Amino acid sequence: MPLIFVFLDGVGLAQADPTNPLAITPTPHLRALLGGPLTLEHVQARATLLLRPIDAALGVPGSPQSGTGHVALLAGVNAPALHGRHQPYFPPVALRPLLVERSLFRRALAAGQSVAFANVFPPIFFEAVAQRRIRPSASVLAAQGANVPLRGLAELRAGLALSWDITGEALYARGATPALPPITPMQAGTRLAALARSHTLVFFECFLTDLAGHGRLGPDGPADAITRVDGLIGGLLAHMTAADTLLLTSDHGNLEDSTTTVHTEAPVPLLVVGPAAPAFAAIERLDQIADAVLAAIGFQADTVQ
C-alpha cells in the first residue's frame, strides 16, 4: 500500500507552552487532525492515526545531528553509535556504503516497489556539488545508489516535483526556477498525494523547519515554516485515498524550542495517518522507522537483505 514519507528536519515533539512555536502558530489542518497542535499533549494511537514521541539520540551522548540522523532514518541503522558521535550536516564518509546498501529506496526497489523522491534538484544544485560548495545529503546519496531519479525542472514544471521549502519560493527568488512561480503549501501537498497514485513509496524532505529553528529565516521564520508544513499536510489529507498512509517524522529537535537556536534533545514526532498507522505503534527510535516503512508498503524487510 502506498506510503508518503514526509521528512522534516529539526522538529521536536514538546509540550505546548509559549516557547513552542508549534503550539502558538495557527495550524488548522494539524489541529483538526490531532484535536490540537503538534505537541506532546496530543500523543495518541488509533486505527488510522498515530502520534508518538520517538527517541532521536539513539543512546549516544550529545544533541542529535542531521548527518548521522538521516542515515539512521533512511537506512535503519544506529548511525550515531556506529560513528561514535552525532555528526551534523552530511553523512560520515565511512557510513556511506552502508547507507547506500541498506537505504529505504534500494530495499523498496529490490522488493518490487516503486519509489519517487519528490524533491526537485535544479541545475544550480549540481553546479554547487561539482564546485564542492555543497555536499550531497544522505537522501541524495541513497537515491543515486538506488538509481532513483532525481527530479529536475521538467518534473517541477509538470507538477511532479516540489522544492525543499514546500512552496518553491527560495529557488524562485534565486532565479533557479525561472517561469515556475511558487505554489501554495496546499498545492504542494496535492502534488505529493498525486505521486502516490504511481509509486508505493513517495519521499519528500523539507529543511525549512531546521533553518527556521536555527534563526536563519528571521523572527517570522518559525511561524512561516510551520504554516507551510500545515498547508502541506492539509493538501495531502484532502487528496490521499483510503489506501494511502502519510508518515511524518524528523531527525532531531530544534524548531519546537524558541529559547534556543541550536538542536535540542527532545524526542521527535512520529505522525502516521492512514491504514498503516498501527504498524508504527511500537516504534520507539529513529532507526526503527525504515524497516517499518518497508513492511508497511508490502513486504517483510528481513526477506530482502
Using the rule CB under 5 A, give the single segment among 52-60, 150-158, 193-201, 206-214 that binds Zn ion.
Answer: 206-214
User: Could you tell me the smallest distance in angstroms from the CB atom of residue 231 to Zn ion?
Assistant: 22
| Cβ neighbours of 139 (radius 10 Å) | 24
Contact 156, 162 (CB under 8 A): yes
Using the rule CB under 5 A, give the single segment among 14-22, 52-60, 78-86, 205-213 that binds Zn ion.
Answer: 205-213
Quick one: 11 or 202, whose CB is closer to Zn ion? Answer: 11
User: Could you tell me the smallest distance in angstroms from the CB atom of residue 254 to Zn ion?
Assistant: 6
Q: How far apart are CA 234 and CA 30, in angstroms?
A: 8
Cell of 152: 529536475
Using the rule CB under 5 A, give the single segment among 197-205, 208-216, 276-284, 296-304 that binds Zn ion.
Answer: 208-216
User: Could you tell me the smallest distance in angstroms from the CB atom of residue 147 to Zn ion?
Assistant: 29
Q: What is the DSSP string of 8-62?
A: ETT------STT-HHHHS--HHHHHHHSS-SSGGG-EE-SSEEEEEEBSSTT-SS
Which of 38, 61, 5, 51 minimizes the C-alpha distance to 199? 5
- Kindly determine how many residues on this chain lie close enough to bind Zn ion according to the rule CB under 5 A: 1
Residue nearest to Zn ion (CB): 210
User: Could you tell me the smallest distance in angstroms from the CB atom of residue 108 to Zn ion?
Assistant: 27
Using the rule CB under 5 A, give the single segment among 138-146, 160-168, 209-217, 234-242 that binds Zn ion.
Answer: 209-217
Which of 226, 151, 217, 232 minimizes the C-alpha distance to 184? 232
Quick one: 70 or 102, whose CB is closer to Zn ion? Answer: 70
The reply to whether 210 sits near Zn ion by the rule CB under 5 A is yes
Which amino acid would we find at residue 182?
A: P
Using the rule CB under 5 A, give the single segment among 55-63, 108-116, 127-135, 204-212 that binds Zn ion.
Answer: 204-212
Q: How far apart are CA 44 and CA 61, in angstroms?
A: 28
User: Could you tell me the smallest distance in angstroms from the CB atom of residue 8 to Zn ion?
Assistant: 12
The reply to whether 256 sits near Zn ion by the rule CB under 5 A is no
User: Could you tell me the smallest distance in angstroms from the CB atom of residue 179 to Zn ion?
Assistant: 32
User: Could you tell me the smallest distance in angstroms from the CB atom of residue 155 to Zn ion?
Assistant: 27
Q: How far apart are CA 185 and CA 162, in angstroms?
A: 10
Bridge partners of 293, per DSSP, are none
The reply to whether 257 sits near Zn ion by the rule CB under 5 A is no
Using the rule CB under 5 A, give the single segment among 79-87, 198-206, 207-215, 229-237 that binds Zn ion.
Answer: 207-215
Quick one: 165 or 210, whose CB is closer to Zn ion? Answer: 210
Quick one: 210 or 230, whose CB is closer to Zn ion? Answer: 210
User: Could you tell me the smallest distance in angstroms from the CB atom of residue 126 to Zn ion?
Assistant: 23
* Burial track 259-296 (b if 16+ CB lie within 10 A, e otherwise): eeeebbebbbbbbbbbbbbebbeebebbbbbbbbbbeb
Q: How far apart are CA 21 and CA 26, in angstroms?
A: 9
Positions touching Zn ion (CB under 5 A) are 210
